[in-house]
Each structure stands twice: as structure tokens, then as C-alpha cells.
Amino acid sequence: MTVGFIQTGSESGWRAANTSSFKETATTDGITLKFYDSQNKIENQITAFNQYIQDPAVNVIVLAAVGTTGYDDVLKSAKAAGKVVVIEDRRIEADSSLYYTYIGSDFIKEGHEGEAAMCDLLKAAGKTTANIIEVGGDQAASAAIDRHKGFGEALANCSAVKMTVLDYQNAPGWDPVQGKSIMEAFLKKYAGKIDGVMGHNDELAIAAIQAIDASGLKAGKDVQVIGFDATADGFKYLINGELGADIECNPLLAPQVYKAALDALNGVTGQQAWTPSQEGQFFAAQGATALQAILATRKY
Ligand code: GYE
């Protein structure tokens, strides 16, 4: 197998773990890996696709998609060129006949889990009504689109607290620096009215926590904060209690992706269109000792 891997970029701890999973597994499995960092630009992903389609050595193309649309033409060209294509991490809006399979998270379900966690945190904080702020990931990314959708559609499930999403803004490229500025602006605009914050990944949740603390409020006390990914950095803030919950998203997808690609090369058919990742959730309420012990066992 010679794999052309089109990665989104290097925007987060999760992404670094995902990239390592592909590089390390390729080394252990003796797979030739050609790696492309798309700098979080869809146009770069199209360029990379055409590059790998032209490359006679490449027989497998793996895509971690920056956006959800715009891939149909290159998928059709790859198919016509006899390349196996596997979509990893993020879903795209393309007919599943244009790729072998998709392996990645159920981001809508993650949004639901985020809502349930926020509901419990606000209930424990004695709230009966609450205003939520959402610091979103890149607006083109299915991870951000679906977490937002999942969280929003589950709000009514919280019987103890009437939750309202007061405002929502995306940080381009998942940039935590812009995420912090977004939170600083919301803290001014909605002074004294913010009860909860949903950061679409750990870096954005941590950026929000830093803005909250800098404003004189206390994250985890005056404002409840949740994140997504459950990276080591996320655990640090769960352990200090400023992050109330972290919805896990599994970046270690390479073994499954390479297995699927090998199946495709060996002519295996009847594969699932989508294999959702196995994931959990972590809570500050588990306590520092228990969380430390869990963190010590994790690869990212
Ligand atoms: O949550 C974020 C990364 O697609 C699941 O992308 C991934 C997301 C992850 O930038 O940290």
C-alpha cells in the first residue's frame, strides 16, 4: 500500500494525535505514506487529490476533510483512476459510491452528549434558566456544523434548566487566539448574563476559560464550560475544575483506516458506508485523582 494522506492541517492537539496515528501505524505496518498538510484550505486538498491521482505509485488516498462539499469531481477522477479512497475523521456531502468507506465520529451525538453534560453542570450550579455561548470551530467543518446542530436540537431535553444559546461565532481554522477574542467580545456584550460556554474543541474551550478568568469571573464556578476531544490539555482543565466536561473524540483512527484500505485493494465488498468511532466522556466531577489516573493511560 502506498497511501496519499490529505490531512486538514495542524490546528489542534487532536489533529496532532491523528497525524501521529497515521505516521506511526504506517511505520509499524510497513506502509509507504505520502503526507499532505492542507493548511486548512479546501483548495489545497483539491490540489493534493489531483497530485495523488496522477501519482502511479499511490493506490490509496485518505482524506480528512476541511469542508463538507467541493470534493465530487476529484472523487470521481480518483475512482476513474482506480484509486481506493477512504474518508477519515469528518463526514463530507458526497455520494458514498464515490469512496470505499468513512471512518469517523458521530459529531451530532457528541453535541447531544455536550448538551446533557452542560445541563448537569448548570443544575449542580443551582440554575433553572441559563444563557449559553458557543465558541465554534471552523464553519466549513462537519465537526463544528454537527456539534452545533446536536447541541441545539437537544436543548429541550434538559428538564431542570431552561437553556438558551445566546450567541455563536466560529473561529476560522479552529484558531484559539481568535477563539479567545470572540469570548472576550461576548463577555463585554453580554456582561453578567453568561452561565455556560461550549467550546467546539479543547483549545477553544481553554481559550474561553482564559478569557473568563481574565474578566474577573471564575470558570467552573461563575460560568460552566464544556469542550470536545478530551486531549491531555483538556484533562488538565478537567483536573483543575475549570472545564466541567470533555466529550471525547477519538483521533487514533489509522489502524481502522488502513485495514479498510487493504480490504478495498483485496476486492472486499459489502463494507459499511460509515463506521462511527468509539468514544466516551469525562467530567471534573470524577475528581482529580481519578482523572490523573485515566490521563496516565492515554496516548493523546
Ligand atoms: O475536534 C478538532 C480538530 O475533526 C474531530 O478537528 C476533528 C476536530 C477536532 O481541529 O480539535
pLDDT in tens, 205-226: 999 999 999 999 999 999 999 9
Residue 81 C-alpha to ligand 1 middle, in angstroms?
30
Q: Say whether 94 sits in a helix, a strand or coil.
A: coil
Q: Which residues contact 274 (CB under 8 A, 6 or more apart)?
A: 91, 96, 101, 102, 103, 104
* Interatomic CA distance for residues 193 and 186, integer angstroms: 10
With a 6 Å cutoff on the Cβ, whether 143 touches ligand 1 is yes
Cell of 177: 487566539
Strands (E), the chain: 2-7, 32-37, 60-63, 84-89, 101-104, 129-136, 162-170, 196-199, 224-229, 245-248, 274-276, 281-283
- Name 35's bridge partners: 5
With a 6 Å cutoff on the Cβ, whether 107 touches ligand 1 is no
Which pLDDT does position 296 carry in this prediction? 97
Which pLDDT does position 273 carry in this prediction? 96
Which pLDDT does position 191 carry in this prediction? 97
- Quote the mean pLDDT of the chain: 98
Could you read off the pLDDT of 7-39 as tens digits, one per residue?
999 999 999 999 999 999 999 999 999 999 999
Indicate which atom in ligand 1 lies nearest the CA of residue 13: 11
Whether the Cβ atoms of residue 208 and residue 183 lie closer than 8 Å to each other: yes
Q: Span 78-94, mean pLDDT?
A: 98
Which pLDDT does position 124 carry in this prediction? 98
Indicate which atom in ligand 1 lies nearest the CA of residue 105: 5
